[in-house]
């Protein structure tokens, strides 16, 4: 790739990123609703059900906040899927392919805009966590590393959302993604200790990519967590780095291949 081609690709990707962000600014209601949902979930779990929950080694609200951060990143998959499916079903994706744009620009712009959304959602969740008593206890450097792991997970799920959105028949298929995301999200260590589950179900929860990020973040934040006596629990940081790379390595080529084969 020559310098001119690289510059052209970067400028096209930047243009598509700005387009996506401007579209969202014209729909502030949808943005507010997307940000309000995880906050409502924190308040519901922390105050409505929290009194009945036993957190391993500490306060339940401190225990669930890293899990809620990760679930917020996972729920963003629905937004990526819906937007990609809507563009494809309305012919917008076909128009992009007919324009003298870099082939990767529309997808790269979507990914960049979704990461901006994820950073904003994470910032709102941090403020919410601080408001309900959550704190990090291991210094700002380790806290930033934890937030970086959360954004890394979201970046990997962006490519999964792009691929699934290109496969879908339209945005109404989002129900399929909800059926996928919610069980995967809750079948993890985000909300409860896997040790409280049946052995076979707890093993699945421990190997869940979401559990790796949640467990690593709890360690980096200095939060109470479940006693990990298994390989995935003892190597959560390694898995929190490896799982997003594996997800990206699988779904990115599939997304690019599907984009090129759109009729």
Judged against a pLDDT cut of 90, whether residue 149 lies above it is answered with yes
8 Å CB contact between 221 and 66: yes
**What number is the average pLDDT over the span 3-26?**
77
The string of DSSP codes covering 168-213 is SSSGGGHHHHHHHHHHHHHSSTTTS-GGGS-HHHHHHHHHSHHHHH
In three-state secondary structure terms, 117 is: helix
Judged against a pLDDT cut of 70, whether residue 54 lies above it is answered with no
**What number is the average pLDDT over the span 245-250?**
94
As given in the structure block, the two tokens for residue 104 are 């990767």
pLDDT digits 0-9 by tens, 189-199: 888 888 788 88
8 Å CB contact between 58 and 223: yes
8 Å CB contact between 12 and 101: yes
Nearest CA to 155 out of 203, 107, 201 is that of: 107
8 Å CB contact between 69 and 150: yes
**What number is the average pLDDT over the span 91-104?**
73
Q: How far apart are the C-alpha atoms of 43 and 38, rounded to whole Å?
A: 9
8 Å CB contact between 188 and 211: yes
**What number is the average pLDDT over the span 244-258?**
89
Q: At what angle do helices 28-43 and 60-89 cross, to 10 degrees?
A: 150
Residue 86: how many other CB atoms lie within 10 Å: 17
8 Å CB contact between 84 and 110: yes
Note the pTM of the prediction, 2 decimals: 0.87
């Amino acid at each position: 790739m020559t310098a001119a081609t690289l510059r052209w690709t970067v400028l096209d990707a930047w243009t598509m990123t700005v387009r996506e962000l401007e579209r969202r600014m014209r729909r502030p209601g949808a943005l507010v609703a997307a940000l309000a949902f995880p906050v409502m979930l924190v308040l519901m779990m922390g105050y409505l059900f929290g009194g009945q929950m036993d957190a391993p080694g500490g306060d339940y609200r401190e225990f669930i906040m890293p899990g809620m951060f990760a679930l917020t990143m996972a729920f963003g998959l629905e937004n990526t899927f819906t937007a990609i499916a809507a563009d494809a079903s309305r012919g917008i994706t076909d128009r992009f392919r007919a324009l003298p744009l870099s082939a990767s620009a529309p997808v790269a712009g979507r990914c960049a805009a979704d990461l901006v959304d994820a950073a904003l959602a994470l910032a709102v969740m941090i403020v919410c966590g601080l408001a309900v008593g959550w704190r990090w206890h291991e210094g700002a450097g380790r806290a930033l590393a934890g937030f970086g792991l959360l954004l890394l997970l979201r970046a990997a799920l962006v490519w999964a959302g792009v691929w699934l959105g290109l496969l879908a028949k339209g945005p109404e298929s989002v129900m399929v993604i909800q059926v996928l995301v919610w069980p995967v999200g809750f079948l993890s260590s985000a909300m409860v200790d896997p040790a409280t589950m049946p052995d076979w179900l707890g093993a699945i929860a421990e190997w869940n990519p979401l559990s790796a990020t949640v467990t690593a973040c709890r360690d980096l934040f200095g939060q109470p967590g479940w006693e990990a006596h298994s390989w995935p629990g003892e190597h959560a940081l390694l898995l929190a780095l490896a799982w997003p790379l594996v997800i990206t390595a699988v779904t990115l080529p599939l997304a690019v291949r599907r984009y090129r084969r759109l009729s």
